Structure 1
Amino acid sequence: MATTSDEQAAGQHYLVCGIQDCQKNGQFYCNDCHQPMCEQCKEEHRKSPNNKNHNIVLYRQRKHRLPTEKCKLHPTKNVDIFCRECNTPLCLKCFLGKEHKGHEFDDLEDIYAEKYALWQGEFSKIQKYFLPTSEDLKIDIKEDVKEIKKIIETIRTSMKDEAESLKNLVDEVTSEKIEHTHTMEKSLLQMLKSQETTYNDYIKYLGKMSEKFQEYLSTTNQKLLSSKILKLKTIPETSKPVPPVFTPGQFNRDDVAKLLGRLNIPNTEPEKRKIHPMEAVSTPMKFTEKQMEQGKEKSDMKPTLSLSSSVTKVREYSVPDVNNAFHVSADKSGRLWVSDIKGNLVQTDLQGNLLQKIKTSGGGEGYHTATQDGGLIYTDKDEKKIYRITPDRIITEFIKTGDWTPLSVHSSRINGDLLVGMITDEEAKVTRYNKAGKEIQNIQRDNQGQGLYSLPHYITENINGDICTSDWNKRAVVVVNKSGQHRFSYTGQGSVFCPYGICTDVLGHILVCDTDSKTVHLLDQDGGFLSVILSSQQGIEHPHAVCVDDENNLYVGQLNNKVTVYKYLE
């Protein structure tokens, strides 16, 4: 990430006082001299009569220096005056010329500083309100998309069920009618069978009568004359059956559509999406040193924390049953969880006494995190699961991550959500789970569709909701806002940057271990490099893990089994 000229001049260690050969931390800034100053040099600077009206502020509240720009008419002169009448910037030579005689002028640096503050304020609004709010609305829309799809699918299912019900009813009625045709057919056929039997009997009768007539015809005349006269029965009468007639039902498509219900959108006014009003978002107020001193005199106000001019070692102790301290988590009770590269995860008190030990498949990652209730959550890479330990030491399976291997995990101090950095053979992402373990957000790509992560092996959250990830393969600290929008990537101060453990503090600082330079870097909330807060000068040899507890103590784990505690805020 690009740094200002003042920060570059300060070098990699910290922002150095700009007074002569002073090498102390330049936490103050003289807006008139445009120099960073330590507290001692600031006091000396104010003692000089020439500097009594100089405006001295905290470094982060400094007035930004006017960029150097040469005059177009006088290329050897710098532009630093603004003519109100002509609405144009001028150099000193233009100012002294006849063309602008009698005009009113302003200091161009004051105008620039004012404009810079306005631009910074607008930029801050974009970053802190407009972008996150818009991203939240996008998430709201995505949820609506899911809900609409769910509702429409339910309607489709209901339609199919209703149609199926109608089909079943049609089939049932049709079966009954067809069964009735069989009954009618049977009755008619029985009637015809009876008629056939009648004629069969009559034909038999005629056969017998034929035989008698032939017998009579073959007898003598005397016998024929004395025989009885035979009379034939008449042909039986029968009736032709009346066949049934089918009358088709009188219905059309609309009739069927009515039977199957109606689909429409209610005549209801759509509810407008709720856009939360913007709170006061602006650049930091420009307090003068006098105002700061007056503020300190107010006894009813709680002192505000700030960076100390030096880092103080508080204590150091060895952690039992670990070979190295690759990750450190401090819980509310002051106890400490420490893990090494071989999957040993132990809990100790502040004297280094072993309280409990767990064997996992974790390694050189930030795979455990203390929770708000005093418990712990840790990942298991081999099983692709996340486990939870309650304050009374009960271990339960919490989340299964499917095809994704969970590497790093962080329990939010803002809302208790769980942030998990995870990978597959091809991809990497950060997933957010709520307290119940339900997946609610996946962060994987930037606005251009490029992958944000490669190996997110340490993860944390800042006070503004930013998700800060230490990515070994990217050689960067990747920071996105709470909506997953990429804010910045910090790539160190040297040619090689190897980020490991990462944490944040109550002031929004980001602290990250650089295993290449064997130092701990301190960044501001927007990724600006502030200082190398820990190096070999403070006795640090191989820092791999950092953690800040509720008392603002900084814990540093190294490539041995030692954890060292420092104070850097006051």
Structure 2
Amino acid sequence: MDPRAQDVLLCDLCETDPLQYCCERCGINLCSDCVSKHFSDSSKKHKIAPYHIHRKFTPKYSKCRKHADEDCKLYCENCHIPVCSTCALFGEHKGHDISDILEKLGSKKQRIQKDLEELEKKIYPRYKEISSAAQTEKVEVETNYGKLATSADQQGEVWHREVTAIVNKRKADIVETKKTHISLLDKHADEITHRMTEIYQAILEMKNILDTNDISLTSTYKSRNDEFNKLPPTIKVTLPSLSPPTINTETLNEMFGLLTSLSVTTVGSLLADPCHTATIDTGYNKLLSVSCLSEDQVWTRGNNETMKLLNLQSKLLTSIHTKSGRQPRDIAVTRDGNLVYTDTSNNTVNLIKNKKIRTVITLQGWGPRSVCCTAANHLLVTMVSDDVKQSKVVRYSGSTETQSIQFDDQSRPFYSSDYYNKYISENKNLDICVADWSARAVVVVNQSGKLRFRYTGHPSNTKQSFNPAGITTDSQSHILTADRDNNRIHILDQDGQFLRYIHCDLESPWGLCVDIRNNLFVAEYYTAKVKKIQYL
């Protein structure tokens, strides 16, 4: 047996754990777990204090500055300083609230003990995690800058190959042009040589006639001088030239690829204990969606045809009925503060501006489900085919379809096909995030529609089902999704890594949105309340 164990004083109740407290009224020593058991005996009044204060503890009092021979054994609650009995009874602290300094010391040390435990168990470990993450990031930075340098070398090699190919092509073109030029000159020289031969032959014939008395030769002579006086045309060929443009260094840099500037942002850390700061009673029987207009105003939609704008005090500011008189399928606020809603009764997407409803999209063969507004003020709409066999995400600029996202590179569908909503949000890095309830997954693709990842719940959780409902993102590119059946919110980083849960006594969380200050608004399905939560 370890001899040091003999020095450990044990709890009088359980006789197993080291004692940490004592009851001054009952004279019993207790461990932290047995304090509550001791309080269960209501037949006596109890007074719990840390053991080291009550046992084997010799207080070292400070001396009074005005009464040098007196110890400060009392504590002035008004002035928050130790005082002697003379000062408390007759001096400047007369009439103040006075307490025993040992009791005050006990409560102070309890607070210190609590702070110590929080520092050791919560705060310091988190700093260690942050420090470790910083070291890991430093290694990643070294690697990534190496990749950038390699990329520059590779780009240089590509340019060298392209320049060599262009030079070889130009040289080949020069050779072909030269051949054509020489051929033209050769042909022209041949024609002149042929005409010179004819002229020389005519000269010989005329000399022969002049030297003979043959009358028949002289009488048959015909002059060709007019013909020969018509000199052949002169061929003038302009030599080709190579006239490279002046190299614009700025343009060349842009063509090569510019290195973006270093962007440094302070990333808000997640609170250890997210706090619930406000509750909005919407008045619906069931609440399905919430969308932030500002820090203290939210649009909501429930299980009827009315969409409500409410403030943090649950005051109704505006209410609007759908054009069809049917329940809207989803709502979203645009970049300029207008409201958009989808309507499956007539397969439309509608914009509300100045309380006037305008249909901006009418679908054929497809029914709209959820909608969000992007950073570029486009609309992303999840939709299901009328035969409920296909699902897709479509991007609209105004009323024009500009992108459709449905299949991966192997022609497999990204999303499950059913009647349920697939809530959607665009992240700060322009990823498109969809909470697919039936697939039990959050599906994230990049802005080009290429799959980045699927999140199917925390890897360690194999017993509880994961059926994501609402989804939203924040300024730190966190992805937040509502886990209605388990009464919590999952927070992921932009690469799909689980960071933590938010509980905050949530009941059936469904719709989500985040305001410009990263406050989370949660629509509770059954209570029909919106809860505002601070988590950063």
Asked if 1:313 is matched to 2:276, the reply is yes
Indicate conservation of the 8 Å contact 2:441/2:454, yes or no.
Answer: yes
Which residue in the other structure is 1:279 paired with? Answer: 260
2:480 to 506, 511, 520: 511
Q: How many angstroms does 1:349 deviate by?
A: 2.6
Which residue in the other structure is 1:501 paired with? Answer: 470
2:411 to 442, 445, 449: 449
Aligned to 1:452, the other structure's residue is in SS state coil
Do the aligned partners of residues 333 and 507 (structure 1) sit closer, same or farther apart at CA in structure 2, a change above 3 Å counting? closer
Which residue in the other structure is 2:380 paired with? Answer: 419
Asked if 1:466 is matched to 2:427, the reply is no
Superposition map of 1:333-344 within 5 A:
334-344=296-306
Indicate conservation of the 8 Å contact 2:327/2:343, yes or no.
Answer: no
Which residue in the other structure is 2:529 paired with? Answer: 562
In 1, distance between residues paired with 2:292 and 2:271? 22
Do the aligned partners of residues 383 and 357 (structure 1) sit closer, same or farther apart at CA in structure 2, a change above 3 Å counting? same
In 2, distance between residues paired with 1:121 and 1:445? 34
Aligned to 2:119, the other structure's residue is in SS state helix
Aligned to 2:120, the other structure's residue is in SS state helix
**For residues 424-456 of structure 1, what are the alpha-carbon distances to aligned partners after superposition, in whole Å with 9 as ceiling and x for unaligned?**
12211111111x221111111111111001255
Q: How many angstroms does 1:343 deviate by?
A: 4.5
Asked if 1:481 is matched to 2:446, the reply is yes
Which residue in the other structure is 1:324 paired with? Answer: 286
Indicate conservation of the 8 Å contact 1:429/1:453, yes or no.
Answer: yes
In 2, distance between residues paired with 1:38 and 1:465? 42
Letter in 1 for 2:311: D
Which residue in the other structure is 2:191 paired with? Answer: none
Letter in 1 for 2:133: Q
In 1, distance between residues paired with 2:134 and 2:260? 24
Do the aligned partners of residues 441 and 278 (structure 1) sit closer, same or farther apart at CA in structure 2, a change above 3 Å counting? farther
In 2, distance between residues paired with 1:375 and 1:44? 42
In 2, distance between residues paired with 1:490 and 1:38? 34
Aligned to 2:457, the other structure's residue is in SS state coil
**For residues 166-189 of structure 1, what are the alpha-carbon distances to aligned partners after superposition, in whole Å with 9 as ceiling and x for unaligned?**
xxxxxxxxxxxxxxxxxxxxxxxx
Letter in 2 for 1:372: R
In 2, distance between residues paired with 1:488 and 1:123? 23
Indicate conservation of the 8 Å contact 1:124/1:281, yes or no.
Answer: no
Aligned to 1:41, the other structure's residue is in SS state helix
Q: How many angstroms does 1:124 deviate by?
A: 11
Indicate conservation of the 8 Å contact 1:470/1:478, yes or no.
Answer: yes
Which residue in the other structure is 1:491 paired with? Answer: 456
Query: Which structure has more RCO (C-alpha within 8 Å, separation ≥ 6)?
Result: 1
1:386 to 339, 349, 353: 349
**For residues 262-290 of structure 1, what are the alpha-carbon distances to aligned partners after superposition, in whole Å with 9 as ceiling and x for unaligned?**
xxxxxxx9xx99786453689xx9xxxxx
**For residues 485-524 of structure 1, what are the alpha-carbon distances to aligned partners after superposition, in whole Å with 9 as ceiling and x for unaligned?**
1100100123421000100111111110112212111111
In 2, distance between residues paired with 1:530 and 1:520? 11
**For residues 216-252 of structure 1, what are the alpha-carbon distances to aligned partners after superposition, in whole Å with 9 as ceiling and x for unaligned?**
xxxxxxxxxxxxxxxxxxxxxxxxxxxxxxxxxxxxx
Indicate conservation of the 8 Å contact 2:279/2:312, yes or no.
Answer: no
Indicate conservation of the 8 Å contact 1:313/1:565, yes or no.
Answer: yes
Q: Which runs of 5+ in 1 are unaligned?
A: 1-20, 22-36, 47-54, 65-112, 126-268, 286-301
Indicate conservation of the 8 Å contact 2:480/2:491, yes or no.
Answer: yes
Asked if 1:58 is matched to 2:19, the reply is no
In 1, distance between residues paired with 2:429 and 2:502? 22
Letter in 2 for 1:415: A
Indicate conservation of the 8 Å contact 2:320/2:355, yes or no.
Answer: no
Superposition map of 1:70-81 within 5 A:
none
In 2, distance between residues paired with 1:438 and 1:119? 42
Q: How many angstroms does 1:540 deviate by?
A: 0.9
In 2, distance between residues paired with 1:411 and 1:58? 33
Letter in 2 for 1:61: A
Do the aligned partners of residues 44 and 119 (structure 1) sit closer, same or farther apart at CA in structure 2, a change above 3 Å counting? closer
In 2, distance between residues paired with 1:349 and 1:478? 32
Letter in 2 for 1:312: C
In 1, distance between residues paired with 2:135 and 2:355? 53
Q: How many angstroms does 1:336 deviate by?
A: 1.3
Which residue in the other structure is 2:331 paired with? Answer: 368
In 2, distance between residues paired with 1:447 and 1:384? 29
Indicate conservation of the 8 Å contact 2:393/2:406, yes or no.
Answer: yes
Indicate conservation of the 8 Å contact 2:328/2:341, yes or no.
Answer: no
Do the aligned partners of residues 519 and 409 (structure 1) sit closer, same or farther apart at CA in structure 2, a change above 3 Å counting? same
Do the aligned partners of residues 277 and 481 (structure 1) sit closer, same or farther apart at CA in structure 2, a change above 3 Å counting? farther
Q: Which runs of 5+ in 2 are unaligned?
A: 1-31, 33-115, 150-244, 246-251
Do the aligned partners of residues 274 and 418 (structure 1) sit closer, same or farther apart at CA in structure 2, a change above 3 Å counting? farther
2:505 to 539, 555, 570: 539
Do the aligned partners of residues 530 and 124 (structure 1) sit closer, same or farther apart at CA in structure 2, a change above 3 Å counting? farther
Q: How many angstroms does 1:115 deviate by?
A: 6.4
In 2, distance between residues paired with 1:119 and 1:363? 53
**For residues 380-403 of structure 1, what are the alpha-carbon distances to aligned partners after superposition, in whole Å with 9 as ceiling and x for unaligned?**
11211110001x211111111221
Indicate conservation of the 8 Å contact 2:267/2:476, yes or no.
Answer: no
Indicate conservation of the 8 Å contact 1:333/1:374, yes or no.
Answer: no
Do the aligned partners of residues 428 and 45 (structure 1) sit closer, same or farther apart at CA in structure 2, a change above 3 Å counting? closer
In 2, distance between residues paired with 1:553 and 1:334? 10
**For residues 345-395 of structure 1, what are the alpha-carbon distances to aligned partners after superposition, in whole Å with 9 as ceiling and x for unaligned?**
222233222221324687695x110111111011111211110001x2111
Taking structure 2 as the reference length, the TM-score comes to 0.52
Which residue in the other structure is 2:309 paired with? Answer: 347
In 1, distance between residues paired with 2:299 and 2:485? 25
Q: How many angstroms does 1:561 deviate by?
A: 1.5
Asked if 1:552 is matched to 2:518, the reply is yes
Indicate conservation of the 8 Å contact 2:509/2:523, yes or no.
Answer: yes
Superposition map of 1:81-480 within 5 A:
277=258, 279=260, 305-320=268-283, 322-332=284-294, 334-354=296-316, 355-359=318-322, 367-390=330-353, 392-412=354-374, 414-424=375-385, 425-434=388-397, 436-454=398-416, 457-480=422-445
In 1, distance between residues paired with 2:256 and 2:447? 16
In 1, distance between residues paired with 2:410 and 2:291? 35
Which residue in the other structure is 1:525 paired with? Answer: 494
Q: How many angstroms does 1:61 deviate by?
A: 2.2
Do the aligned partners of residues 341 and 489 (structure 1) sit closer, same or farther apart at CA in structure 2, a change above 3 Å counting? farther
Do the aligned partners of residues 116 and 274 (structure 1) sit closer, same or farther apart at CA in structure 2, a change above 3 Å counting? closer
Letter in 1 for 2:331: H
Letter in 1 for 2:529: K
Aligned to 1:40, the other structure's residue is in SS state helix
Taking structure 1 as the reference length, the TM-score comes to 0.49
Q: How many angstroms does 1:63 deviate by?
A: 4.3
Aligned residues with identical type, % of pairs:
32
